[in-house]
Structure 1
Amino acid sequence: SFKGAELFSAKVDQEKFDVMELHAHPELAARQHMVDDGSGEVKVWRIEKLELAEVKPSMHGQFYGGDCYLILYTYQVSNRQQYILYMWQGRHATKDEITACAYQAVNVDNMYNGAPVQVRVVMGKEPRHFLAIFKGKLIIFEGGTGRPGVESPKTSSSLFQVRGTTGMNTKATEVPARASSLNSNDVFMLKTNQKCYLWYGKGCSGDERMMATEVCDTLFRQFKEVVMEGQEPADFWIALGGKGPYASDSRLEREEPLHSPRLFECSNQTGKFRMTEICDFEQSDLDEDDVMLLDTWEEIFLWIGISANEYEIKQSLNSAQEYLKTHPAGRDPDTPIITIKQGSEPLTFTGWFNAWDPFKWSVSFINRSLWQTLKSC
């Protein structure tokens, strides 16, 4: 499957794998592609009954996982108007809505004589420029809808993970309202019926706190209470269903990680074993047909997808060892290599992913087990 802007892959044949190629390309070329600073004009439409319904400016930046949206961005280049048409698809939108979104994008494109550049945006994979045009007010709700007259399910608590240091790169993402969703490296907003808690992880920076405060002011009007990690009141844990473990690795508590984590997909689906770096990764990039290598510097994780084949598993382990030996920074060859199975990920692994969903693969596992049972009958 295509992994967003998959511009680089380290090619190997079955005999020898040149890991040095990975070190020569630490980031993808298109990673910071920005047409401007996001200060242009923005129009937003939501798909309603397969038609376009304009979203009022006060609600710009608030996207619901049960909806699809079109976002038309207009900017100037040499006194000429240029356009980008983003098609944002919610994770829980229906197939009809997704189809209608594409159809309506063609209509909008025709309105502007085919001038807009069209960009498909899948929920959770918002590109950098998309974040910038909402100026630090981008808020992603896991489910529900922004359609008027449609009530979203009422919950006593909702939790949002806030990442970003400026109006150019900030996003708030709804995560399950439980203790295990917390992460020492970030700021979280916990909304209850009475107040909004701003939880500051030990590793968050002053800029991150400032941006989270702005997001909180946008979304919630009620009283805000700042909570420092380790000094939580009892009501905070009650709102999360009780105190519990969460990602709090010592590295996550540092304000500036010395080395950014890197994720690689290890696959021989093309007939040759390849390691492909995935930029700005998230949980959905973990492919259950392959092995994934996550380098957090102090540890190497090999994540084994449920359908990965034996050759991929064996070759991935060899490649991880060679990756360490050939790293230009002189990595310790004895850096721990940790093999984990899909569905059994520890917090030390999930903590590196934004908005980790522990139930993501539950249905897949059940369906696969049922299929195996039927085959054996």
Structure 2
Amino acid sequence: MSGLRKAKKYDWKDSNLAMFGSDTEKQVKKESAESEPAWKGSGQNVGLQIWRIEKFKVVHLPKEDYGNFYSGDSYIVLNTYKEKDSKELKHDLHFWIGKESTQDEYGTAAYKTVELDTFLNDAPVQHREVERHESTMFKGYFKSLTYLKGGIASGFRHVKPEEYKTRLLQFKGSKRQVQVTEMSPCRTKLNSNDVFILDTGRKVYQWNGNGCNKDEKLKAVQYIQQLKSDRHGKATSESVEQGDEDEDFWNHFTDVDDDDDDDDDATDDGTKRLYRVTDEGGSMKTILEKEGQIFNKSMLDVKDVFILDTSKEVFLWVGRRASNNEKKNGMGYAHKYLQTTTHPLIPVTVIKEGQTSQGTFNSHFSAAA
């Protein structure tokens, strides 16, 4: 498809993920959801719960690892909350796909997300998140987001310091959220606006760019303290200011950049588009209803499914009287639609008619019925 971008970096987006809805509709039963041990107690209390997919199994992520995401893995994230003056528990349910996650991993994450939704009596609002293209809602769950190379099996926690491969971590952001990204230890990666940690195993350098801020510095200091604790005193650290580097520091760098840097999606004109998805007439069709900036809720027909594309995020609204065929393929429709756009990696939210969400769906519609 000519509209696809980043095919080499996010091969999964060309896959059969769009088909998982129809498969899971047949396979996911309430009894199988209740037999999944990972779901025991899930969604019963306000707060965040995260699971990682490990060899087709759903495994609880330790709370100390919340906010750390490996590019080679897929995760399920459940946020349970109460609205003001309400005792009712509500849920936002996300599956997160790393850019190097395998088809088995993200397919299992998608399948299990539907299963957890079933376990919670179809109450959650479902979301798809892609590494480095996450929704504002998703990012808001964490004080910092850390993107690490590889999968959890290649983690550094239990590796001897002398066996470490040198890695470079960028600290970028503000008090609201500092983002940590692992990258190739190439000297051209350093920039004066951020803080970087050069981790050689035995020695850890904190490099402070001339234009970095105090929040980036503080987060880096905390990160190094945790590294040294994990290594039981077998690692030392040194702070380096931009311009004060010595030869030993530079010797750990290479001139080779092995990263596939993720460019932003193509610039859009800001026009929002509303599509109707219907199987009326016997075949599934996606029809453009309107382009503009604001829409009227009267356009949402309870008998159909609608896609709202803001170019920053996609919402799929499912009418309560939509056909079973339309209802069961919600995430698949959105995924397939995004393959035809210049922004295939943006966040996706599926909303069933009558659901409320902490998202921004309603802000795109006028109050008139």
TM interval, shorter chain, is 0.5 to 0.7
Corresponding residue for 2:267?
264
Whether 1:74 aligns to 2:67 is no
How far did residue 176 of structure 1 move? 0.9
How far, CA to CA, are the matches of 2:137 and 2:71 in structure 1?
20
Contact 2:142 2:177 in 1 (8 A): no
TM-score (norm 2): 0.52
User: What SS does the corresponding residue of 1:226 show, helix, strand or coil?
Assistant: strand
User: What SS does the corresponding residue of 2:254 show, helix, strand or coil?
Assistant: coil
Residues 160, 108 of structure 1: CA spacing in aligned structure 2 closer, same or farther, 3 A cutoff? Answer: same
How far did residue 188 of structure 1 move? 1.0
User: What SS does the corresponding residue of 1:174 show, helix, strand or coil?
Assistant: strand
How far, CA to CA, are the matches of 1:64 and 1:214 in structure 2?
20
How far, CA to CA, are the matches of 1:128 and 1:142 in structure 2?
23
Corresponding residue for 2:220?
212
Corresponding residue for 1:160?
169
How far, CA to CA, are the matches of 1:62 and 1:231 in structure 2?
31
| Structure 2: stretches of 5+ with no match in the other structure | 6-45, 230-234, 258-263, 270-308, 314-338, 343-369
Contact 2:47 2:79 in 1 (8 A): yes
Equivalent of 1:182, from 171, 179, 190? 190
CA RMSD of superposed structures (Å): 3.9
Residues 210, 43 of structure 1: CA spacing in aligned structure 2 closer, same or farther, 3 A cutoff? Answer: same
Corresponding residue for 1:363?
none
How far, CA to CA, are the matches of 1:146 and 1:98 in structure 2?
16
Amino acid at match of 1:69: Y
How far did residue 100 of structure 1 move? 0.9
Corresponding residue for 1:198?
206
Give percent identity, aligned residues only.
Answer: 32
Corresponding residue for 2:361?
none
Corresponding residue for 2:242?
229
Residues 217, 277 of structure 1: CA spacing in aligned structure 2 closer, same or farther, 3 A cutoff? Answer: farther
1:87-136 Cα deviation digits (max 9, x unpaired) = 11111111121111100001111111112222211112233333332223
Contact 1:199 1:227 in 2 (8 A): yes
Whether 1:51 aligns to 2:64 is no
1:299-341 Cα deviation digits (max 9, x unpaired) = xxxxxxxxxxxxxxxxxxxxxxxxxxxxxxxxxxxxxxxxxxx
How far, CA to CA, are the matches of 2:196 and 2:133 in structure 1?
20
How far, CA to CA, are the matches of 2:220 and 2:238 in structure 1?
12
Corresponding residue for 1:143?
150
Contact 1:165 1:211 in 2 (8 A): no
1:120-160 Cα deviation digits (max 9, x unpaired) = 11112233333332223x21112232489999996531111
Equivalent of 2:48, from 42, 47, 55? 42
User: What SS does the corresponding residue of 2:110 show, helix, strand or coil?
Assistant: helix
How far, CA to CA, are the matches of 2:178 and 2:91 in structure 1?
23
How far, CA to CA, are the matches of 2:77 and 2:106 in structure 1?
14
Amino acid at match of 2:267: F
Corresponding residue for 1:300?
none
User: What SS does the corresponding residue of 1:88 show, helix, strand or coil?
Assistant: strand
Residues 102, 141 of structure 1: CA spacing in aligned structure 2 closer, same or farther, 3 A cutoff? Answer: same
Contact 1:187 1:209 in 2 (8 A): yes
How far, CA to CA, are the matches of 1:149 and 1:207 in structure 2?
25
Contact 1:82 1:115 in 2 (8 A): yes
1:36-89 Cα deviation digits (max 9, x unpaired) = xxxx51211111222211112122222111111101111221232221112111
How far, CA to CA, are the matches of 2:256 and 2:59 in structure 1?
42
Q: What does residue range 2-17 of structure 1 map to in structure 2 within 5 Å? A: none
How far, CA to CA, are the matches of 1:149 and 1:156 in structure 2?
9
How far, CA to CA, are the matches of 1:147 and 1:76 in structure 2?
37
Corresponding residue for 1:115?
123
How far, CA to CA, are the matches of 1:163 and 1:53 in structure 2?
30
How far did residue 208 of structure 1 move? 2.2
Contact 1:237 1:243 in 2 (8 A): no
Residues 205, 147 of structure 1: CA spacing in aligned structure 2 closer, same or farther, 3 A cutoff? Answer: closer
Contact 1:65 1:142 in 2 (8 A): yes
| Structure 1: stretches of 5+ with no match in the other structure | 4-39, 245-260, 267-275, 281-286, 291-377
How far, CA to CA, are the matches of 2:57 and 2:123 in structure 1?
21
How far, CA to CA, are the matches of 1:71 and 1:237 in structure 2?
39
User: What SS does the corresponding residue of 1:163 show, helix, strand or coil?
Assistant: strand
How far, CA to CA, are the matches of 2:238 and 2:156 in structure 1?
31
1:16-36 Cα deviation digits (max 9, x unpaired) = xxxxxxxxxxxxxxxxxxxxx
Residues 43, 227 of structure 1: CA spacing in aligned structure 2 closer, same or farther, 3 A cutoff? Answer: same
Amino acid at match of 1:145: I
Q: What does residue range 322-361 of structure 1 map to in structure 2 within 5 Å? A: none
